[in-house]
């Protein structure tokens, strides 16, 4: 297994290079998307329109030769438009598979669809399968949902159910590019037919093989205890000397946060070429894993605090070792 790892890491570097043929900057974000894919997780992307969220996902699919479908979520969307349906034809029911049957599925502006459509994704995200009628259909592997939401416009949107938000391994914030990066984007894209395709650099089999390497990365019990303390501090900050946060958190992160923190830390270690997890791996993924799993109070919002600021205070205070 270890003999293949250098070759697979070279392919990951080639994937990064391939995506960079179209996407300028955002290297850290690309690594986080690759980490989520290696961890068999799903991603919630939040950013203003025009920051290349769709193009980034499409480029990653092309670089891996993965099937890709884009779903534009709207208020009139039906569950069958996502997962598919059964059609009665010539005396029998035939299954019409929906766009969810792809390796990478982009759910664009997911918060514009009503709850019944959002909940149609739950089984697919958790079980990697879809039930149509009395038949269960397995989704292709690897399978990953990347959902986007616009943080600016709230009119005509529906808040995601907590059960669904908790199933995303990461919530990633897509920010504006720097001026120098935007200058490069301008030169590349201000054309009638800009380059939007990338070169295939790896295969889905490579991703599945890397997942087996990820499971073999060692997580020491001291690291596991550190992860548990970080998550526990979001539920009972006073127990860790964070009395000032008690009025800012309505409820803390679920046990799924601990699971995903350990998994994502393994992924971060793999992407940097490590064989075991260190505290910096945990800190590197903490915000992305936990920011959407804690609910802040109205008092925190009134004082201009968000979950990232609270997590930063927790990281500063909770000790790495007991």
Is a pLDDT exceeding 90 seen at residue 163?
no
Question: Of the candidates 206, 239, 267, which is a domain's last residue?
Answer: 206
Of 311 and 245, the one with more pLDDT: 311
What is this structure's pTM? 0.87
CATH number at residue 93: 3.40.50.300
Residue 234 has φ and ψ, to the nearest 5°, of -75, -20
Question: What's the whole-number mean pLDDT along residues 242-267?
Answer: 90
Question: Of the candidates 178, 206, 234, which is a domain's last residue?
Answer: 206
* 254 and 291 share one domain: yes
pLDDT at 1: 57
Query: Chain centroid to CA 224: how far?
Result: 22
Strand 135-138 with 92-97, pairing: unpaired
Of 47 and 69, the one with more pLDDT: 69
Question: What residues make up the domain containing 45?
Answer: 2-206
* 152 and 240 share one domain: no
Which tens digits make up the pLDDT trace of 286-305? 999 999 999 888 888 888 88
Length of the chain equals 322
User: Does residue 60 sit within a domain?
Assistant: yes
112 pLDDT tier (thresholds 50, 70, 90): confident
User: Does residue 322 sit within a domain?
Assistant: no
Question: What's the whole-number mean pLDDT along residues 259-279?
Answer: 93
Tally of structural domains, the chain: 2
Question: Of the candidates 164, 186, 206, which is a domain's last residue?
Answer: 206
User: Does residue 265 sit within a domain?
Assistant: yes
Is a pLDDT exceeding 80 seen at residue 139?
yes
* 179 and 235 share one domain: no
Q: What percent of the chain has pLDDT over 90?
A: 31
* 237 and 188 share one domain: no
* 46 and 131 share one domain: yes
pLDDT at 315: 93
């Amino acid at each position: 297994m270890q003999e293949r790892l250098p070759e697979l890491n070279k392919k990951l570097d080639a994937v990064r290079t391939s995506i960079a043929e179209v996407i300028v900057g955002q290297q850290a974000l690309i690594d986080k998307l690759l980490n989520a894919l290696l961890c068999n997780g799903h991603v919630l992307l939040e950013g203003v329109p025009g920051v290349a969220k769709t193009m980034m996902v499409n480029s990653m699919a092309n670089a891996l030769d993965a099937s890709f479908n884009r779903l534009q979520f709207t208020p009139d969307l039906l569950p069958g438009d996502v997962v598919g349906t059964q059609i009665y034809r010539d005396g029998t029911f035939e299954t019409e598979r929906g766009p969810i049957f792809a390796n990478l599925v982009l759910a664009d502006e997911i918060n514009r669809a009503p709850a019944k459509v959002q909940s149609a994704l739950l089984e697919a995200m958790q079980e990697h399968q879809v039930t149509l009628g009395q038949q269960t259909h397995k989704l292709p592997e690897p399978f990953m949902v990347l959902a986007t939401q616009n943080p600016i416009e709230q009119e005509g949107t529906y808040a995601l159910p907590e059960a669904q938000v908790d199933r995303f391994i990461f919530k990633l914030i897509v920010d504006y590019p720097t001026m120098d990066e935007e200058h490069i984007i301008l030169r590349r894209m201000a054309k009638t037919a800009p380059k939007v395709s990338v070169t295939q650099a790896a295969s889905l089999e490579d991703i599945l093989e890397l997942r087996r390497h990820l499971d073999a990365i060692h997580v020491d019990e001291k690291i596991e205890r550190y992860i548990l303390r970080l998550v526990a501090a979001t539920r009972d900050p006073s127990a860790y000397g964070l009395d000032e946060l008690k009025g800012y958190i309505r409820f803390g992160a679920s046990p799924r946060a601990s699971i995903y923190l350990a998994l994502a830390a393994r992924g971060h270690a793999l992407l940097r070429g490590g064989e075991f997890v260190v505290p910096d791996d945990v800190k590197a993924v903490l915000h992305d894993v936990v920011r959407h799993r804690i609910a802040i109070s109205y008092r925190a919002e009134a004082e201009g605090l968000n979950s990232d600021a609270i997590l930063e205070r927790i990281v500063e205070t909770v000790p790495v070792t007991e």
